[in-house]
């Protein structure tokens, strides 16, 4: 496996040369959004300057070019995640919309008394859509707890199934703890018990090789902006027969076969779930982000991030009072921590003064915070372009602010 040439990678990201508060930017907020390489921004610019026209309906050249760019990207996504057909790849606004689509549309097929299983480490976007469904259907939501190291309690997971369990919705990687869940094992058990599995891949797809077949995912959702792509675009993968059985999510243009006041028919997949004009420029540029990641090599990215994780974790533990949340074996390069009793927000503000961008707060995972008995954490998360020197700068900053906070 080729190693990443991190300096070459950094040169692809102009934003990394800027300063913040008079210091070189150290961007460690990658679990919230990654930065975007020149190739992707150039692609967006190119489409805006040469081929911007509404997709699908056009007979004219520009519309056909815009359509081809978006459909080529759909095929890139299909190959990237190992789906069988582009009919199974639906463009959405992001992970959140993808999960809402399933909760709303697949949710329509559920019956009162049915049960779904979530985990306590889910992002709000994989909790609240199911709670909204509860306003329409009397479904029960059961929650898998975690063990002390932040891994899922799989014994309890298995014990939650009944004949009424219809769906498990689980994150591939925790955006707080970094835990990488054993998705293949989770799906195998669910399928044995006749339930489907939706996988929230928002923190997975940028860091792990994903094959939806190997994972056994019935649905898989992710966001472009967390994988070096443009904002405003995401993907829902769904197995064809499931998508075919599901009613449309939103109504409008593009998603219809024929509209009449005596009865309207739906378009074929995937368009049935793509009402209205999509972000066709962003959708096209997502394909370029995938090319970029594959050019670096997903395994090389993962190995680099893992090395940064190990180094940073070891150095952070040199600091008095350091508390790290999430120590599951094989975790992803996300470190949630608190410095003694210091408030996460104060820590984040002081780090920002030193040019270091981290995220603070509950990370859209309030039930997990409740389980951990805290209000929030500071979170540092690594991407392909982070360096060991940046980890050193981060550690030096932590050591500098630690006395101020205690
Ligand atoms: C970011 C994130 C989401 C939501 O993604 P959006 O792009 O905001 O829709 C969902 N789940 C996890 C695990 C995330 O990290």
Using 50, 70 and 90 to split pLDDT, how confident is the model at 1?
A: low
* CATH number of the domain to which 255 belongs: 3.40.640.10
Q: What is the pLDDT of residues 204-234, one digit of tens each?
A: 999 999 999 999 999 999 999 999 999 999 9
| 101 inside domain | yes
Q: How far is CA 10 from the centre of its chain?
A: 22
Same domain, 82 and 22: no
Q: Are residues 149 and 260 in the same domain?
A: yes
Ligand 1 atom 8, closest CA: 96
Copy the structure tokens of residue 268: 């074929």
Does residue 1 lie within any of the structural domains?
A: no
Q: How far apart are CA 32 and CA 36, in angstroms?
A: 13
Domain check: are 235 and 313 in the same one? Answer: no
Same domain, 97 and 207: yes
Quote the DSSP letter at residue 249: S
Q: To the nearest whole number, what is the mean pLDDT of the chain?
A: 97
Query: Domain check: are 212 and 309 in the same one?
Result: no
Q: Report the C-alpha gap between 35 and 229 in whole angstroms.
A: 8
In order, the DSSP letters of 112-137 are TT-EEEEETT--GGGTHHHHHHHTTS
Residue 36 belongs to some domain of the structure: no
Atom of ligand 1 nearest to the CA of 125: 10
149 lies in the same domain as 258: yes
Q: Which of 234, 265, 294 is the last residue of a domain?
A: 294
Model confidence at 245: pLDDT above 70: yes
Statement to judge: residues 262 and 180 lie in one domain? yes
* Residues 16, 47 within the same domain: no
Given 294, 321, 339, which residue is the final one in a domain? 294
**Which tens digit of pLDDT belongs to each residue from 62-102?**
999 999 999 999 999 999 999 999 999 999 999 999 999 99
Q: Which of 245, 275, 294 is the last residue of a domain?
A: 294
Examine the domain organization and report whether 170 and 311 are in the same domain: no
Provide the 10 A C-beta neighbour count for residue 322.
16
Q: How far is the CA of 135 from the centre of ligand 1 (A)?
A: 23
pLDDT of residue 2: 74
- Whether residue 35 lies inside any domain: the answer is no
Question: How many structural domains does the chain have?
Answer: 2
Same domain, 276 and 151: yes
Task: Calculate mean pLDDT across residues 350-354.
Answer: 98
Q: What is the 27 CA–ligand 1 centroid distance (Å)? A: 19
Nearest CA to ligand 1 atom 14: 202
Please check whether residue 311 lies inside any domain of the structure: yes
Q: What is the pTM of this model?
A: 0.98
Residue found by looking up tokens 């981290």 in the block: 358
**Distance from Cα 173 to the centre of ligand 1, integer Å:** 11
Task: State which residues form the domain around 51.
Answer: 41-294
Residue 248 lies in a domain: yes
Q: Are residues 309 and 377 in the same domain?
A: yes
Q: What are phi and psi of 27, to 5 degrees?
A: -95, 105
Q: Give ligand 1 pocket residues (Cβ under 6 A).
A: 94-96, 123, 125-126, 171, 175, 200, 202-203, 223
Please state which of the ranges 29-33, 108-112, 255-259, 312-316 shows the lowest mean pLDDT. 255-259
Alpha-carbon span 235 to 225, nearest angstrom: 11
- Say yes or no: 316 and 189 in one domain: no
CATH number of the domain residue 363 falls in: 3.90.1150.10
Q: Which of 11, 298, 319, 364 is catalytic?
A: 364
Centroid of chain to Cα 366: 17
Q: Is 364 a catalytic residue?
A: yes
- Residue 175 in 3-state DSSP? coil
């Amino acid at each position: 496996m080729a190693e990443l040439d991190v300096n070459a990678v950094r040169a692809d990201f102009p934003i990394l040369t800027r300063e913040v508060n008079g210091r070189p930017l150290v961007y460690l907020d990658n679990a919230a959004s990654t930065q975007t390489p020149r190739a992707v921004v150039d692609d967006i610019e190119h489409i805006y300057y040469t081929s911007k026209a509404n997709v699908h309906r056009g007979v004219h050249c520009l519309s056909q070019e815009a359509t081809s760019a978006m459909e080529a990207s759909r095929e890139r996504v299909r190959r990237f995640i190992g789906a069988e057909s582009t009919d199974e790849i639906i463009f959405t606004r992001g992970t959140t919309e993808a999960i809402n689509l399933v909760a709303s549309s697949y949710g329509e097929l559920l019956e009162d008394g049915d049960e779904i299983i979530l985990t306590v480490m889910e992002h709000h976007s994989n909790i609240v859509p199911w709670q909204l469904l509860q306003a329409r259907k009397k479904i029960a939501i059961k929650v898998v707890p975690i063990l002390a190291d932040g891994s899922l309690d799989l014994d309890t997971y298995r014990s939650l199934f009944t004949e009424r369990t219809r769906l498990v919705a689980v994150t591939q990687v925790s955006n707080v703890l970094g835990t990488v869940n054993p998705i293949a094992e989770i799906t195998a058990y669910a399928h044995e018990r006749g339930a489907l599995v939706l996988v929230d891949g928002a923190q997975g797809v940028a860091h792990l090789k994903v094959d939806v077949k190997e994972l056994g995912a019935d649905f898989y959702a992710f966001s472009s902006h967390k994988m070096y792509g443009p904002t405003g675009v995401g993907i829902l993968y769904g197995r064809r027969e499931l998508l075919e059985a599901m009613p449309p999510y939103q109504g409008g243009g593009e998603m219809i076969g024929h509209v009449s006041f005596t009865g309207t028919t739906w378009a074929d997949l995937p368009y049935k779930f793509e009402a209205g004009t999509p972000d066709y420029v962003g959708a096209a540029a997502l394909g370029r982000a995938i090319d970029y990641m594959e050019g670096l090599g997903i395994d090389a990215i993962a190995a680099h991030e893992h090395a940064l994780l190990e180094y940073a974790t070891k150095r952070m533990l040199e600091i008095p009072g350091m508390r790290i949340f999430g120590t599951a074996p094989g975790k992803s390069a996300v470190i949630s921590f608190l410095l003694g009793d210091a408030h996460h927000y104060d820590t984040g503000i002081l780090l920002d003064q030193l040019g270091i961008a981290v995220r603070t707060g509950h990370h859209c995972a309030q039930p997990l915070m409740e389980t951990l008995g805290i209000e929030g954490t500071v979170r540092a998360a690594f991407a392909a372009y982070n360096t060991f020197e940046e980890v050193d700068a981060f550690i030096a900053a932590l050591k500098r602010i630690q006395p101020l906070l205690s």
